[in-house]
Amino acid sequence: MSEMLRTLLSIDTFKNGRGPRYLQLRRLIEDAIRNGLIKPGDALPSEREIASRIDLSRVTVRKAVQDLVRDGVLFQRHGSGTFVAPKVGRVEQSLSILTSFTEDMASRGISVRSVWLDRGIYVPSPEEFVALGLSANERVVRIARLRIGNDEPLALERASLSAKTLPDPNAVGSSLYEALEKTGMRPVRAVQRISAALLGEKDAELLGVTAGSAGLNIERTSYLASGKVVEFTRSVYRADAYDFVAELRLPPTAATKQEEP
Ligand code: GLP
């Protein structure tokens, strides 16, 4: 722990504070981040250490820390502690343009990397069979990745494609759409369904948030110009990191009426 942080987390700083103790601690940590005393990626001292330094109960410390985790200021990694969250900020994603994760991040200057969770050829599940419009004996390629922007886990994406569309799962480098583009299989249209979700333990751990945090489930079915399905992808996005934005226009008849003198 840095000397600055040690001084900050001392009984003296806490002597004259007002309001509930957990809110005081919360403000202290937020100020320390704002003033650069602790930086994105820095580890916070353990709850026990904070509690003993400023003479608070561990329950109070935990409440302050959990509040900051919930608000995306801090994040926790199982077994390794609590850290200051990197500053990707909330990503605003248009709902009307068909782009890839890699392109979405590149347009915001965010660097992308992925951790592969699965890639292989499988016998399709009944859901994949229907969603991809497969014929008997067709196989599916499954690609599952943890998608990371500026070193911050943002989404989990599990894509299924017919093995006829993508015969070799290893042909995918950093971008699925880039691999599909090379073989003329990049989708030109997609239908996307978004629903609210609470993150289960496993997904939450991969995304570096606490279990039960809010998530967005996104199901994308994308198509070639011919109408053939290209991918059926189920993604889970961190709700604290993403805003999906839709542009709304008047229906054509109403718009014409408005233009009339
Ligand atoms: C988005 C979509 C996925 C799609 C992915 C491709 O995130 N939700 O359905 O598979 O982009 O991204 P990339 O080309 O970066 O792999």
> The whole model's pTM is what?
0.68
Q: Give me ligand 1 centre to Cα 241, in Å.
A: 17
What pLDDT is recorded for position 13? 66
Mutation pick for ligand 1 pocket among 156, 177, 185 (CB with most ligand atoms within 8 Å)? 177
Q: Give me ligand 1 centre to Cα 177, in Å.
A: 7
* Residue 39, number of CB atoms within 10 A of its CB: 12
What pLDDT is recorded for position 242? 78
What pLDDT is recorded for position 83? 86
* Residue 142, number of CB atoms within 10 A of its CB: 19
Distance CA 249, CA 261 (A): 20
Pocket-forming residues, ligand 1, beta carbon under 6 Å: 100-102, 157, 159, 175-178, 218, 220, 231, 233, 235
**Distances 227 to 85, 176, 178, 189 between C-alpha atoms, Å:** 42, 19, 20, 9
Q: Give me ligand 1 centre to Cα 138, in Å.
A: 23
Q: Give me ligand 1 centre to Cα 225, in Å.
A: 18
Q: What domains does the chain contain, in order, with CATH numbers?
A: 3-84 (1.10.10.10), 91-245 (3.40.1410.10)
The minimum-distance atom of ligand 1 relative to the CA of 155 is: 7
What pLDDT is recorded for position 256? 63
Q: Give me ligand 1 centre to Cα 175, in Å.
A: 7
In tens digits, what is the pLDDT along the chain, a chain of 261 residues? Answer: 566 666 677 766 666 667 888 888 888 888 888 777 788 888 888 889 888 888 889 999 999 999 888 777 888 877 778 888 776 667 777 777 899 999 988 877 788 999 999 999 999 999 999 999 999 999 999 999 999 998 889 999 999 999 999 999 999 999 999 999 999 999 999 999 999 999 999 999 999 888 998 999 999 999 999 999 999 999 999 988 878 887 788 887 766 666 555
CB 199 within 8 A of CB 241: no
The minimum-distance atom of ligand 1 relative to the CA of 178 is: 14
